[in-house]
Amino acid sequence: MQTKPETSLACAFKHKGSWALLLLLHCMLLSSCVTVPITGRSQLNIVSSSGMLALSNETYGKFKKSNQESADRKNTALVKNVGTRLQLAVEHYLRSNGMAAEVNGYLWEFKLFESKDVNAFALPGGKVVIYTGILPFTKTDAGLAVVMSHEIAHVIARHGNERMSQALISQMGGIALNEALSSQSQKTKDLWAGIYGIGTTFGFLMPYSRMQETEADHIGLIFMAMAGYDPNEAVPFWRRMAAQPGNRPLEFLSTHPAPESRIRQIQSEIPEAMRYYRK
């Protein structure tokens, strides 16, 4: 019986090369390396934005049904106002740098939900969720902008797409990867659930890599500066977060570098961010 020829990808998986070599192979075979805005890092992205948006919208719809939006009008308005300022700055940056087509792909929402958890997250497509538990740490508009710009940076840098690409490669290497996403098979949904924590602690993102978190800090500083928030406010915010008593880490800090290392890194990036700052 004649067997179906194997794809180059399937053959590659039979040879246990390094992960870095595998990523490089994909970049060459599928021309799927894209550049992260601002940092210029090359990342693997083999999934379509439409597929990611479909799964994101489904996830967000379920989240809203099982979680309570805050009835605090003042803080709800604050989250929306800060988010909108960041959105306008980010969209201006994208349009000014030849990425106008991407702007239409974002359906932004900035919502405040009731929870004692000190956390925030964003889904591909621009759904940004802030928990009331983090507000005592943000304290000011600029402090909230630190958190929201960090989450928006994850969206703009397509960190979710990158993680999904890596998961698809590692677990679905021998099939048509983008087709797996667009068809939204159960296995594909299971991968998404593993990445975004559905079925475990719903609404909490599973950890980004430390590299992605550090990159989101960097990009977020610049985005908040573009929106007119002083990037220097990031340092006292992270010091407040690091100073909390009890067993570390808080959920929002779980994959980041040690607090002092992180603060030093942020301080080293503030001069670059200040070049974009306009009061």
Cα 58 from Cα 267, distance rounded (Å) = 38
Which residues are 35's β-sheet partners? 42
Closest CA to 213 of 168, 278, 266: 266
Contact 195, 127 (CB under 8 A): no
CB environment 179-207: b (16+ within 10 A), e (fewer): ebbeeeeeebeebbbbbbbbeeeebbbee
Contact 26, 18 (CB under 8 A): no
Tokens of 156: 């703009």
Amino acid letter, residue 109: E
Q: Where are the alpha helices (DSSP H) in the chain?
A: 8-14, 19-30, 49-66, 73-96, 100-103, 135-138, 141-156, 159-172, 177-183, 186-196, 210-226, 234-242, 259-274
| Residues that are catalytic | 151
What sign does the CA torsion over 201, 204, 208, 210 have?
A: negative
Tokens of 5: 């020829």
Q: Which residue has the tokens 């969206």?
A: 155
